[in-house]
Amino acid sequence: MALRKRAASGTCPPAGPGRGGTRPAAAWTRAAGGEPPSGSRQFTAMAVPARSFSLLRSHLGRVPRLGGAAAPLLGAQGAASTTLRGFQSSGVRHDAIVISGTEMARQIQKEVQQGVEAWISLGNRRPHLSIVLVGDHPASHTYVRKKIRAASAVGICSEVILKPKDVSQEELLDITDQLNSDPRVSGILVQLPLPDHVDERTVCNGIAPEKDVDGFHIINIGRLCLDQHSLIPATASAVWEIIKRTGIETFGKNVVVAGRSKNVGMPIAMLLHTDGEHERPGGDATVTIAHRYTPKEQLKIHTQLADIVIVAAGIPKLITSDMIKEGAAVIDVGINYVHDPVTEKTKLVGDVDFEVVKKKAGFITPVPGGVGPVTVAMLLKNTLLAAQSIIY
């Protein structure tokens, strides 16, 4: 039996002359739909240095451009005099700025594409992403299709290795061993979840750390916890990127992370609480981690004090408007499929009661269209970093 079955969506862009490009100092894009949701304001992507707000926290309304000169940070309406919504005092109550993850992901993917072209123009092999997909879980197949499509858009080769749900753990480890030794392959990921008879930790540790673009290998997690450079789990990296590009202050702020999974909640907390002066700079925030055994009343006490609330619990409407303080930033990582009584169809929602919380928050991410697209973009960024051997 052949080891690899290439999915129809697996692609490798045709080789061609690459062209270099530098990252734009500040890139602003308009939401795809034209106007933001009714009653809300849409925030689009802007690249800012990770430490700029920590160093200039006494001048929150002004941030330095990447070129070095200070410039006022534009508010949602584009007025130069507007300071960050949610961290200012105003007598007028506005809905939260809705952060467009879709637009931010487009900007990141553009940067990745420029990086791929520059890498190839130097005579290097095109980055290649191999995805191992087990079983017929509909959501997993949907996620993989999105990753393959996004990889193709930025010029990264990709393939899907399909295996039935009764595949043995030993066969999966054989596959990762062969991919580890294949010089053509830059990055490897095994789409989770795996069937119950397979130990996910063992399989994730079977991927070479330098090709572990999901960032789940014990060495990558360990280096993350030690504030060292590593391939960072894509969802955690997406949350951190959203915070940095939106210009949300973390230095000395209170943060609540609702969810303690080793792939999402824990790495998010590590990124936000660690020292901003270390090898891998962190957010210098005071972080509280809540989980399934945190009583709802205690969770509410913590979230009401938080400047930033990050929710990755998998519970629809876990966070309601009475649980957050005025102007807080709310980042929803939740993925839940619920029945819509109006349409009689299944719809995707997060962990936040979006419509009511946006009336009180300063910033908020929607579901869908928030953290999800940025997660895929950060996976592609990890694939490029792996191909360039920047981390290892």
What letters, b where the CB count within 10 A reaches 16 and e where it falls short, cover 272-301?
bbbebeeebbbbbbbbbbbeeebeeeebbe
Q: What is the 3-state secondary structure (H, E, C) of 71-84?
A: EECCCCCCCCCCCC
**In this structure, what is the dihedral angle of CA atoms 220, 224, 225, 228, given to the nearest 10 degrees?**
110
Of the listed 95, 110, 211, 214, which one is catalytic? 214
Task: Identify whether the C-beta of residue 303 lies closer than 8 Å to the C-beta of residue 353.
Answer: no
Strands 128-134, 187-190: pairing is parallel
The rounded distance, in Å, linking the Cα atoms of 231 and 237 is 9
Active site residue 212: no
Among residues 110, 147, 253, 358, the one annotated as catalytic is 147
C-alpha 335/C-alpha 351 separation (Å) is 7
42, 95, 191, 353: which one is catalytic? 191
Q: What Cα–Cα distance (Å) separates residue 242 from each residue in 18, 67, 155, 218, 385? A: 29, 21, 23, 25, 19
CB atoms within 10 A of CB 334: 23
SS3 148: helix
Per the annotation, the verdict on 191 as an active-site residue is: yes
Active site residue 147: yes
Residues with a catalytic annotation lie at: 147, 191, 214
